[in-house]
Structure 1
Amino acid sequence: MTYLDAAATTRVDPRVAEVVLHWMTEDFGNAGSRTHGYGSRAKRAVQQARQYLAGTFDADPDELIFTSGATESNNIALLGLASRGEQSGRRHIITSAIEHKAVIEPLQHLQSRGFEVDFIEPGLSGRVSVDAVMGRLRPDTLLVSLMHVNNETGVVQPVVELAERLGETQTFFHVDAAQGYGKLPQDLTAPIDLISVSGHKIGAPKGVGMLIARDRGFDELPLQPIMFGGGQERGLRPGTLAVPLIMGLAEAAKIFQKDHAQWSRSAAELRTRILDALAKTRFHIHGDQDHVVPHILNLSFDGVDAEALIVRLKEHVAVATGSACTSASYTPSHVLTAMGLPEELASNGLRLSWFPSQAADLDADELADMIVQMQPDPA
């Protein structure tokens, strides 16, 4: 079976697994233990990992908070700013209707606390315009939250330009970079206040991620903790640091950075191979293909039910209808619906996503032939 669901998760790189195992079974100390070498080695290793990873954002090491992944990072970023909004009377938030549920649901919680949230619909391009965001900015706008790369369509959002524009205002800017980290590295060196990342999208283990919380000049970002106990990670993410996972994240990031150019070329070549093979089918690509990462495709096929297609393909390729958090439900994609696609297309979007090394054995022609067999003859 060929794995085409890398937007959900990737396989842990064997080199990363070796590092994780070392910190689980040999240097297994608690980074908070100060009385022996095991703890000292763990603490030093975490400091080195923090310094390297912060550098991938052009951030200071003390601006990086280790978390369990982008979902937790999103919650700390969004809910952690709520007190500032309530104290200052700035209760307006701007986001998009195509965000991951890990952003939408915390914002819905803030709505229940009296915040006003604008959900911008991007249109058929799947790309939110800078003007649409800036046009909704108000004196009481506390925050703009916009994802880097959409997890269903792969469309890249204009986070760099927005960071520059919002940096001239009092409004904070949060970016969910779960899908974009490592793939478009320069984007995330822009002056974005808050960036959420998951490790398992780049070959690191599940259960580890980061939150970049940049200070603006001499002003410390006014985040308040949403959990308590221990004071680790600037008091924003208490609990024993997962040293093996942190070291795995750092190793995965190093490998991905070293291999990035080849990864991008291989991902684009596989995309071309897939689209060339699918030319014999009748399909629609969803999202602006001029602003897209090379490893995610969202398509629907004329006359073909996406769930039936997945069943047909299940012995050959691993694919999904959308986010791994919502693909178990057979409702239309909220992303494709927000883009204005008719229900027939929004209900039948198929997401193909890949790491080239994990999909090199794909027989694209066989995939296309199976789809052709399911398509009714054109009228």
Structure 2
Amino acid sequence: MAVVVTYLDVAATTRVDPRVADVVLRWMTEDFGNAGSRTHEYGTRAKKAVQEARTFLAETVGARREEVIFTSGATESNNIALLGMGPYGAKHQRRHIISSAIEHKAVIEPLVHMQKKGFEVDFLEPGPSGRVTTESVLKKLRPDTLLVSLMHVNNETGVIQPVAELAEKLRETPTYFHVDAAQGYGKLPEDLRAPIDLISISGHKIGAPKGVGALVTRRRGWDKAPLEPIMFGGGQERKLRPGTLPVALIMGLYEAAKIFQETRGNWELEARAMRERILAALGKTRFQINGDAEHSVPHILNVTFDGLNAEALIVRLKEQVAVATGSACTSASYTPSHVLTAMGLPTETATNGLRFSWYPDQVADFDPEELADTVVRMQPAVS
């Protein structure tokens, strides 16, 4: 008989909702037209559907339809938002950027690339809370600061960054604000209605297929964000992102976003209830929560167990739960999480952080007590 393993890694990716899969299949096999085709009904239907999806996604963040472009996901959106600002910054001698040391690699690596092109990047460290303060960002602002890039929700700790508060402050300055909302889109909708200039969205964190996302390019009055394309080959997507639109994936993102919007209230209550159950069960173990528990999403929990190697624990748990560390695997060894390291946590803690992340409807049969019992059996006795 197959072993049932509880999936506790939705921060990495979610299962495609069956209702979403049905929509995607329909637009792959029945209404399969190219949204750029203007001479027949197949193309007309596809174009109309894409515009409907664009309108809905714009409304979820308080933007206009024409301010949303579709991409392959948050990584591409981040690259367009960051690298696309480069030419404007170079032309106007605004080569200073502020970000944080806990960003996803999809932000850090483009910024490192920009450093090689002559930009200066301040990577702020948040301290043990894992939360960058608005004040620490504002203190770094300079007349030549082109951009601030700060994630909405950290993918390893679940800590919520003060993006709404920061957006209001930055709107009073010429500095643009980019938010990587891969983990926060749908979960904290009011935050993203703040006047954020650029928002990166990923579909596969909310039950949509992998390979689809969006970039919101909000205007300041009548002025567009001064983005230049980083790819060429067509005029699709406001001349910022060329290529044939993946209509089926876009419609999957649209359906997933609708479903999540309709169910978010219950999702949040049930996700928080599961968090409380897990923490109650772990009370019999020796552990610490990594990150500010008071400013975290309810469905992501990062912990380190005293005296336990996280990778060894994952091996022991592999027939119970699917979980992840925050460590990056190299060919020879596991390195400490760059997020936990940037928070100033000890190397032992940063190397052995374990991330649990869940959607309530997928963990109904999960018993946290079994997890805790396994940890208790593995933890060395206190001398």
Q: Same fold by TM (over 0.5)? A: yes
Deviation of 1:264 after TM superposition, in Å, equals: 0.2
Secondary structure of 1:168 counterpart: coil
Matches within 5 A, 1:310-325: 310-322=314-326
Give the Cα separation in 1 of the matches to 2:56 and 2:101. 34
Determine the structure 1 residue equivalent to 2:9: 5
Matches within 5 A, 1:68-87: 68-87=72-91
Opposite residue 80 of structure 1, the aligned amino acid is G
Count matched residues: 377
Opposite residue 230 of structure 2, the aligned amino acid is I
Decide whether the 8 Å contact of 1:321 with 1:327 is kept in 2.
no
Q: 1:176 aligns with which of 175, 180, 202?
A: 180
Determine the structure 1 residue equivalent to 2:282: 278
Decide whether the 8 Å contact of 2:290 with 2:303 is kept in 1.
yes
Unaligned runs of 5+ in 1: none
Decide whether the 8 Å contact of 2:217 with 2:224 is kept in 1.
no
Opposite residue 25 of structure 1, the aligned amino acid is T
1:21 aligns with 2:20: no
Range with bigger deviation, 347-356 or 213-222: 213-222
Unaligned runs of 5+ in 2: none
Give the Cα separation in 1 of the matches to 2:329 and 2:276. 26
Give the Cα separation in 1 of the matches to 2:118 and 2:269. 47
Deviation of 1:215 after TM superposition, in Å, equals: 1.0
- State the Cα deviation string for residues 343-371 of structure 1 (Å, max 9, x = none): 00000000000011111211100000001
1:54 aligns with 2:58: yes
For the aligned residues, what is the CA RMSD? Answer: 0.8
Q: 1:115 aligns with which of 119, 126, 151?
A: 119
Determine the structure 1 residue equivalent to 2:37: 33
Runs of 4 or more consecutive aligned structure 1 residues displaced over 2 Å after TM superposition: 326-329
Decide whether the 8 Å contact of 1:320 with 1:327 is kept in 2.
no
TM-score under structure 1 length normalisation: 0.99
Opposite residue 127 of structure 1, the aligned amino acid is R
Determine the structure 1 residue equivalent to 2:346: 342
1:129 aligns with 2:133: yes
1:291 aligns with 2:295: yes
Give the Cα separation in 2 of the matches to 1:233 and 1:191. 22
Deviation of 1:60 after TM superposition, in Å, equals: 0.4
Give the Cα separation in 1 of the matches to 2:281 and 2:190. 32
Determine the structure 2 residue equivalent to 1:42: 46
Secondary structure of 1:352 counterpart: strand
Deviation of 1:332 after TM superposition, in Å, equals: 0.1
Give the Cα separation in 1 of the matches to 2:120 and 2:362. 43
Secondary structure of 1:235 counterpart: coil
Determine the structure 2 residue equivalent to 1:199: 203
Deviation of 1:327 after TM superposition, in Å, equals: 5.1
- State the Cα deviation string for residues 139-177 of structure 1 (Å, max 9, x = none): 000000000000000000000010000000000000000
Determine the structure 2 residue equivalent to 1:100: 104
In structure 2, the CA distance between the partners of 1:327 and 1:155, relative to structure 1 (3 Å rule), is farther
Secondary structure of 2:28 counterpart: helix
Determine the structure 1 residue equivalent to 2:94: 90
Decide whether the 8 Å contact of 1:267 with 1:354 is kept in 2.
yes
Deviation of 1:322 after TM superposition, in Å, equals: 2.1
Deviation of 1:71 after TM superposition, in Å, equals: 0.2
Q: State the identity as a percent.
A: 73
Secondary structure of 1:298 counterpart: strand
Q: 1:358 aligns with which of 356, 362, 366?
A: 362
Give the Cα separation in 2 of the matches to 1:78 and 1:178. 15
Opposite residue 163 of structure 1, the aligned amino acid is A
